[in-house]
Amino acid sequence: MPAKVDMDKIVSLCKRRGFVFPSSEIYGGLASCWDYGPMGVELKRNVRDAWWKAVVHERDDVVGLDTSIMMHPRVWVASGHVDGFTDPLVECKSCHLRWRADELEKQRCPQCDGELTEPRMFNLMFKTFMGPVEEEASTVYLRPETAQGIFVNFENVITTSRKKLPMGIAQTGKSFRNEITTGNFIFRTREFEQLELEYFVKPGTDGEWFDYWVKERFDWYVKLGIRKGNLRLRQHRKDELAHYAKACYDIDYLFPMGWSELEGIANRGDFDLTQHAKSSGKELSYYDAEANEKYVPYVIEPAAGVDRSVLAFLIDAYDEEEVEGEKRTVVRLHSALAPIKVAVLPLSRNEKLTPMAKAVYRQLCPSLVTDYDDSQSIGRRYRRQDEIGTPFCVTVDFESLEDKQVTIRDRDSLAQIRVPIDELNKILEAKLKGEAFDASSLWATRQK
């Protein structure tokens, strides 16, 4: 990675290669809203799937859930969001721009140096109306976190999943916050997607589970390719803890604008279950058969964001290098995250090559996300695949027609091997899994 990746380069790559577009662009865009293009939607899905695999499928103590975005309004009173989910807002008396008071370095407008109003608390929840009547009684909120859908279903899940504590419930989905200041591309937006786990434990064991999840989650980013040196753990000071948290660590990433939160891991104690039990009148406790005791579980919550993770993975993977006197931009995404795993590129669009290249494409498609591209020069097509992070390109040339072999080009080393078409799937699948495949004798020379 170049010493410092500039956000403009990432925004430009995302637009140019179909990762992220400004929302409603033909109407001039909508502030802080973004659309994921063909590459972005695959990357985002891969991030979400990698999280689900690590947090749900590879464990026997976590189950999934998918709850509605609109919930009973009393949920947000009980959770403390109606009263407490606020930021201090100030407005410039000259240019009328609004700012978060706690983020300002001086008490003047950063835009025009105008005088600011006194701070007032601004609730970040989006309100809307359910049904055809716009009146107070029909007000509902768009959820500002997915977590509450998990807490209000605690009893349903415990009963139906037959899990014993410690156990977790995971959910991914959209959340909405009417943030006062947005920015830094997809880092802070008003509509975003979360990856949340609520891990329920016996009170008294929460400290060790908190440490366990901080480590698990830190290691997840490292396993998926983020450099350790670009990650750090930061403990929240008492005065910055959320209203529900007993303790919290952020996993920060070194974004172009500086160290910023990628994920938070909080010890929520028994705050949420206790609040919902009081407010709904339903008992939300757990009967521990082994110890023959009943208690309200404590909750450890690792809460990440899909969009922020996508941004961090792209930034960390972005690289520029010189190859034979030319600049090469390459996005070295982990193969599990790469939107396209393999691209089939006939040397040229030629009536003899096309049928074989299409047959290779069809052979790979069912098991690997495969792209087919026969337009422009082979060099330009390699550049495009490098920029979208495709780990392997398969080239079909005139020799292939004779020897039924194709060339695999490795994105990172640029090394090439010639392999029989019959063995292509097996070789690519092994390489994508990072398994050692003894093809050393097949590697040819490094080529642009």
Binding of ligand GAP by 304 (CB under 6 A) = yes
Part in contact with ligand GAP (CB under 6 A); list of ranges 73-81, 228-236, 297-305, 346-354: 297-305
Binding of ligand GAP by 75 (CB under 6 A) = no
**Cβ distance to ligand GAP smaller for residue 206 or 301:** 301
Contact letters (x/-) for ligand GAP, 166-205, by CB under 6 A? -----------x-x--------xx--x-x-x---------
**Cβ distance to ligand GAP smaller for residue 303 or 419:** 303
Give the residue, chosen from 87, 270, 272, 307, that forms a contact with ligand GAP under the rule CB under 6 A.
Answer: 307
In angstroms, the Cα distances linking 430 to 372, 433, 434 are 21, 5, 6
Least distance in angstroms from the C-beta of 171 to ligand GAP? 10
Three-state DSSP at 215 gives: helix
Binding of ligand GAP by 100 (CB under 6 A) = no
Name the percent of the chain in helix, strand, coil, to the closest 5. 35, 30, 35
Binding of ligand GAP by 145 (CB under 6 A) = yes
Binding of ligand GAP by 69 (CB under 6 A) = no
Binding of ligand GAP by 371 (CB under 6 A) = no
Residue type, 149: G
Number of residues that bind ligand GAP (CB under 6 A): 19
How far apart CA 355 and CA 418 sit, in angstroms, is: 19
Least distance in angstroms from the C-beta of 302 to ligand GAP? 9
| Strand segments (E) across 144-190 | 167-176
Least distance in angstroms from the C-beta of 142 to ligand GAP? 13
**Cβ distance to ligand GAP smaller for residue 243 or 278:** 243
Q: Which long-range contacts (CB under 8 A, 24 or more apart) does 260-264 make?
A: 260/184, 260/187, 261/234, 261/308, 262/221, 262/231, 262/304, 262/305, 262/308, 262/309, 262/312, 263/217, 263/302, 263/303, 263/304, 263/305, 263/308, 263/309, 264/301, 264/302, 264/303
Binding of ligand GAP by 273 (CB under 6 A) = no
Give the residue, chosen from 140, 296, 303, 345, that forms a contact with ligand GAP under the rule CB under 6 A.
Answer: 303
How far apart CA 301 and CA 249 sit, in angstroms, is: 10
How far apart CA 99 and CA 404 sit, in angstroms, is: 64
**Cβ distance to ligand GAP smaller for residue 243 or 352:** 243
Give the footprint of ligand GAP on this chain (CB under 6 A).
145, 147, 177, 179, 188-189, 192, 194, 196, 261-264, 301, 303-305, 307-308
